[in-house]
Chains A and B, each alone.
Chain A
């Protein structure tokens, strides 16, 4: 990713940084000034790339591994164990029964995650399914979207789910009985109130952080983001202790959840946090969430809205207040990443960024739209003009591509979903992401999605102009993401002076090409000169 030296045979590392890159002879020259260098040939047959940067993930990925994975796709845990995908509701229930039978303390809540009903079209999971797992303890299954969950009757009785309420967030059968499926925050609230477990605690516990780092590390990531965290007073110290430890295998950028406090207080909190930044832990940006998700029908879309006629989605903040926050942070010189899924939301976010920039001009603000899945070419042109970057949710193409074609967007608009090709064509700085734990964290897979635009149902989204090349995708998961985090001067490429952050791959992705990109074996990483190997990986 270094334009003046795209390929090299040798790299020298000193004190956590890259001393030099080039041929053996090029490197030799450094020994005069720096003393003898030791030649390490462990990875002579491997392909070394700049460490991957996951520009939009969540620490929650590390916490969920305390629970049981029941998703449709295979997923690798922090200890390298692969959890096989479960291909029917019966398989999910069977797996839960197995887990329950093996548990020592059978009365404690049984919590699973990653379930995705979009792949099971014949029926919905219900309370009876989960009652068959256990009737004397809470059984809770969190959906992959994180917007829905299923509960057994034990939970519903504890909550006293009221039959009178006709809330659209409690799914009911024809007779009005709650089926056990709960939408939105109220499901989580019910689960947490009845079990006493804080399912969504922004756990900055060392364990969660280490789990998160290990999931990321195994996929070649050397810097990841926790892209929304209220960072309660004092919690930064616990995070620092964990992340700054020498054997912690990753750098972490934590985004402050902007609207946890009033704009002026938020600016003060950010300034306090930024003063404590270290090599491995950064509090450098603010995240604002402006709408919901497309597959949850809570994204704000422009007319003609949802393909299936569902009502338009939800604003998560008043546009006017979003503008107030953007103005305050822009004035203070603090970068903001705005979550916008629907095209209406993208447009409003751009309006508000433009207003903030008119009030407080800032040439290299690098405010970034996150997800930004339905942006049009017109939006990308505006982003270019305003200096706004984009981080697209390319994994969506695979996981929900079919649903977007058939249900949410319709074929025409689904063609431009996560239009990485369009962003680059219009000159918008591009990164791509997984939003883990919403989808699996693996930058090479994300790159594969952006390159191939293939849905899990085998359909290609778009007509080719939205695809990007393998090189462009590799750039997006390294320099592109580094740029979006304002860290392109220290990470994202392998060149003298930068941090020694490396992804060690079994094969060269350029040689492998578009199709096999996602299957390249990751041997390990180097972070700041420290090598972290994946167990039992052969090329």
Chain B
């Protein structure tokens, strides 16, 4: 039985969770693999989906033309989960837009007790323009810290509303707190779907043009025959700047699939014929494509 990946989008009220979700749903067409996403949203009214994409709307559910569904959580996450897991057919991916005070690790627990679910990732949005307020909120500061602590991907929203020094300090602070977690900026929720979903799974990684359009660095090439220990050592050094990497590779030990996602490098044996294809995507701070070419192909130190 295939397990449905669960992505939790966490962050305070007004940090841009709904914008991000709207973008993800809009992109879930055939050009991105045609995943049928079911999104559970906290604030139904805030969803801003193009009218032409909406196929049907009734009660606490909106069906989109691309096969995605949005349902409102209301007060009861458990009830929403029960309803979603009774959908036929079951969705390909579930996204939860958590409430601003939710502890995402609590929500992740649902995946641990359901054989049909697995946690893909917790994505936490941090509002660059309000971080200094949120992190000192007299009632919510502990909650804020927990949301950041639980993240597998940190997204800094509204970078355009913060000055350069604030932004830099925020990035430093988050990098100190969560050194292994990839971080990216996001404006108006615009991020490629494949960069956010499938962090802990087998989804294809995004198309180059999309990546470059969003200001990220990407390098792709064939890497057969590099010993995996050497490759992993290079990735370890690049890791602070890497968002995703994936390769279906071959070395002296045999075929394997390598993932770097959510700050973690994992490998799994690969039985078929490995293509040797390798892709890495990183933040603008990552060495550029030319430098990566030297690192991976000419064995220059990372």
Contacts and interface: CB of A to CB of B under 8 A. Distances in A.
Contact of A167 (B81, B85, B105, B142): B105
Interface in B111-163: 111-115, 118-119, 139-140, 142-143
A14 to B, nearest CB: 44
B101 interface: yes
Given A317-B99, A344-B139, A189 B75 contact: no
Interface string B84-96: 0100000000000
B109 A169 contact: yes
B109 A167 contact: yes
B100 A318 contact: yes
Residue of B105, B115, B119 ringed by the most chain A CB atoms within 10 A:
B115
A417 B119 CA distance: 40
Interface string A307-335: 00001101111111100000000000000
B75 A170 contact: no
B219 interface: no
A31 to B, nearest CB: 54
Nearest to A311: B142
Contacts of A317: 99, 101
A281 B109 CA distance: 39
A300 interface: yes
A189 B13 contact: no
Interface string A241-263: 00000000000000001111110
Interface string A333-364: 00000000000100010000000000000000
B109 A315 contact: no
B251 interface: no
Contacts of A164: 112
A189 B78 contact: yes
A315 B76 contact: no
Interface string A179-200: 0001011111110110000101
A156 to B, nearest CB: 8
Contact of A188 (B43, B72, B78, B139): B78
A315 B108 contact: no
Contact of A320 (B13, B77, B82): B13
Contacts of B82: 189, 192-193, 198
A377 interface: no
Given A160-B115, A189-B81, A318-B99, A257 B75 contact: yes
A159 interface: yes
B111 A165 contact: yes
A168 interface: yes
Interface of A: 158-162, 164-165, 167-170, 182, 184-190, 192-193, 198, 200, 230, 257-262, 289, 300, 311-312, 314-321, 344, 348
29 contacts: A158-B115, A161-B113, A162-B112, A162-B113, A165-B119, A167-B112, A168-B105, A169-B109, A170-B109, A170-B113, A184-B106, A185-B77, A189-B78, A189-B82, A192-B78, A193-B85, A257-B75, A260-B75, A260-B76, A261-B74, A262-B45, A314-B101, A316-B75, A316-B101, A318-B12, A318-B99, A318-B140, A319-B140, A321-B100
Given A261-B74, A315-B139, 6 more contacts: A170-B112, A170-B113, A193-B113, A200-B78, A316-B75, A318-B12
